[in-house]
Amino acid sequence: MKKFTFIILILIQSCAMNKDVLITISTPYGEMKAILYDETPLHKKNFIELSESGKFDSTTFHRVIENFMIQGGDVNLVSENEIDYTIPAEFNDNLFHRKGEIAAARMGDNVNPDKESSGCQFYIVQGKVYKEEELTLDINALYGGVRRLLQEEEYSDMRQKFIDAQNDPEETQKLAISLSEICEEKYGMQIRKTISDEVLKAYTTVGGVPHLDGAYTVFGRIVEGLDVIDKIASVKTGSADKPVEDIPMTFKIKKISKEKITKDYGYSYPK
């Protein structure tokens, strides 16, 4: 009997481990469905607790910047029970700011050097699509090197090419890129940047906000309803990027198998 009970407990535990939460965020502009990453357990636990308790319900997207992100979840604006705790940062090189990612808002580095996350506020990335060279090259360093190079007499012919192309930004950039290796070798500059194939593909196809990587904890992803992000991001805003009309949201949580999440929403769990 004890052996049978033990087997049942193991089976129950196994079933629980194979399930995950699917969060539905309802807004006046439609629904978004989200998953939360196992790689960020502190943020995942906190977000689930706030969703299940109803504390997120009736909060709004209070800060909206098109081609950047939509921010919400400020429980303190709608509740007397103030949330004043922070969550330790949970950075992961495999989690980055592609479109649809959910990340934690936080106070600035000057008062928050450890980059700890807000206990409730989050943002959803919209961003934009980038060209490959914008991601693989330090453009500011490149142009700084090119300016130095063109002052040298031996590059007078190239200087003339830049003068001829001054009204053609695309051609100007091509010329600058062609000189990147020379600038690196001649001035000891670091112009080329290392970026993984996965990150490069994401930012050049889906888009996102790469300059936030490593600065804010990414802890979830919108797996359905990316168009809702675009709709919210395009609303009219006023002071402090606050939408002129409130955009309230409500949350529902459903536990389903990880296999179903992968099948229905295309998210593959890390092995």
Better-scored residue on pLDDT, 82 or 242:
242
Topology at the third CATH level for domain 19-131+195-263: Cyclophilin (2.40.100)
pLDDT given at position 212 = 98
CA neighbours closer than 13 Å in the CB half-sphere of residue 117: 28
Count of beta carbons in the 10 Å neighbourhood of residue 84:
8
Question: pLDDT of 160-206, one tens digit each?
Answer: 999 999 999 999 999 999 999 999 999 999 999 999 999 999 999 99
Inter-CA distances, 98 with 101, 126, 171, 220, 256, Å: 6, 8, 28, 11, 25
Count of beta carbons in the 10 Å neighbourhood of residue 52:
14
pLDDT given at position 271 = 84
| Residue ranges with strand state E in the chain | 19-27, 30-36, 61-65, 69-72, 86-87, 101-104, 117-118, 122-125, 218-224, 250-257
Residue spans per domain, the chain: 19-131+195-263, 138-187
The Cα–Cα gap between 127 and 114 comes to 25
* Model confidence at 1: pLDDT above 60: no
pLDDT given at position 78 = 82
The Cα–Cα gap between 236 and 180 comes to 41
pLDDT given at position 79 = 75
Starting from the edge strand earliest in sequence, which strands make up the sheet with 69-72, in order? 61-65, 69-72, 122-125, 101-104, 218-224, 30-36, 19-27, 250-257
* Model confidence at 265: pLDDT above 90: yes
Average pLDDT on 202-226 reads: 98
**Whether the Cβ atoms of residue 67 and residue 60 lie closer than 8 Å to each other:** no
What's the chain's length in residues? Answer: 271
Average pLDDT on 58-62 reads: 95
The CA-based dihedral angle spanning residues 41, 43, 45, 50, taken in that order and rounded to the nearest 10 degrees: -170
User: 156-164 vs 169-178: helix axis angle to the nearest 10?
Assistant: 160
Question: pLDDT of 4-46, one tens digit each?
Answer: 555 554 544 544 569 999 999 999 999 999 999 999 999 999 9
pLDDT given at position 11 = 46
Average pLDDT on 223-236 reads: 99
pLDDT given at position 82 = 82
pLDDT given at position 7 = 52
Concatenated DSSP letters of 187-218: H----B----HHHHHHHHHT-B-GGGTTTS-E
Question: pLDDT of 118-160, one tens digit each?
Answer: 999 999 999 999 999 999 999 999 999 999 999 999 999 999 9
Q: What is the mean pLDDT of the chain?
A: 94
The answer to which of 15-29, 86-100, 250-264 has the lowest mean pLDDT is 15-29
pLDDT given at position 204 = 98
